[in-house]
């Protein structure tokens, strides 16, 4: 991964769009769809710029020298940022990027995901936002709260986001919810260096861990499946896992 995906709020903000023709119009529509205000190069309040010109190099360099982040249509090597394929289930937004490699691939993936994700997904997100106070009251500890939500939102759970009526089940789940994964230490012995060999349970544990303790030889591709904000400790081979609050997941390599 050589890019950091971010959601940039531009509602009510000026965004420079340079160029004529369909490519520039598409960028103007994209900006307007997000609530931004397409403007010309002279607007000094803008922080982002889209360039759709036949010879964009000078314009891109000029804007970049002003401190703007620049996107140049069909020239990924000139881009500070790229625009992903967007799947909108407001307030849920799913962005699909290929680093500028293939807009067609991003579109194909967006269409496939569009058929999979329920239209009511946004209602579930809004319901969870409204339930924040009730969630904190039910689980005052942040780790316990997260583990309960992980269990509820997981595949086949009562709030499974791929099920059409999950939003309608939210109140009932809150009234009778289980605690999800318990705190404690769970060890996973990897059978290979391929993260695709993780079982569904193992992937769920990695995604829920508060502390990840792992041997130094564990591949980075496997470690990337864990929560980015989970604390991490590197273990020597055979070293016992440290005690810690919440769920501790230990990753070891199986003997050859």
**For residue 160, what pLDDT is reported?**
94
**For residue 240, what pLDDT is reported?**
85
What is the rounded end-to-end Cα distance, in angstroms, of the chain?
30
**For residue 228, what pLDDT is reported?**
84
Within 8 A by CB and 6+ apart from 106, the residues are: 84, 85, 96, 97, 98
134 and 109 in one domain?
A: no
**For residue 86, what pLDDT is reported?**
92
Domain of 225, in residue numbers = 184-253
Closest CA relative to residue 100, chosen from 121, 117, 124, 83: 83
Can you give the pTM of this predicted structure? 0.73
89 and 22 in one domain?
A: yes
Measure the CA–CA gap between 195 and 75, rounded to whole angstroms: 33
CATH of the domain at 81: 3.40.50.10190
Token pair belonging to 51: 């360039």
Measure the CA–CA gap between 209 and 246, rounded to whole angstroms: 8
86 and 51 in one domain?
A: yes
Residues of the chain with pLDDT under 50: none
Measure the CA–CA gap between 207 and 194, rounded to whole angstroms: 17
137 and 107 in one domain?
A: no
Does some domain include residue 7? no
Does some domain include residue 2? no
Number of domains in the chain: 3
Share of the chain above pLDDT 90, in %: 62
**For residue 181, what pLDDT is reported?**
60
54 and 31 in one domain?
A: yes
């Amino acid at each position: 991964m050589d890019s950091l995906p971010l959601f940039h709020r531009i509602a009510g903000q000026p965004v420079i769009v340079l160029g004529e023709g369909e490519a520039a119009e598409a960028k103007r529509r994209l900006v307007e769809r997000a609530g931004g205000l397409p403007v010309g190069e002279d607007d000094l309040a803008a922080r982002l710029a889209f360039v759709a010109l036949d010879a964009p190099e000078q314009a891109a360099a000029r804007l970049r020298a002003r401190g703007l982040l620049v996107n140049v249509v069909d020239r990924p090597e000139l881009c500070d940022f790229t625009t992903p394929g967007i799947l909108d289930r407001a307030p849920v937004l799913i962005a699909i990027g290929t680093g500028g490699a293939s807009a067609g691939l991003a579109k194909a993936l967006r269409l496939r995901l569009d058929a999979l994700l329920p239209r009511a997904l946004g209602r579930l997100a809004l319901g969870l936002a409204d339930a924040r106070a009730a969630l904190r009251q039910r689980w005052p500890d942040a780790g316990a709260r997260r583990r309960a939500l992980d269990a509820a939102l997981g595949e086949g759970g009562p709030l499974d986001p791929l099920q059409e009526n999950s939003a309608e089940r939210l109140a009932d789940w809150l009234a009778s919810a289980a605690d999800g994964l318990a705190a404690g230490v769970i060890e996973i012995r990897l059978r290979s260096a391929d993260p695709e060999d993780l079982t569904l349970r193992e992937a769920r544990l990695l995604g829920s861990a508060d502390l990840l303790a792992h041997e130094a030889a564990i591949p980075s591709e496997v470690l990337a499946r864990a929560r980015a904000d989970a604390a991490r400790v590197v273990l020597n081979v055979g070293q016992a896992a440290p005690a810690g609050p919440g769920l501790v997941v230990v990753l070891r390599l199986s003997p050859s």
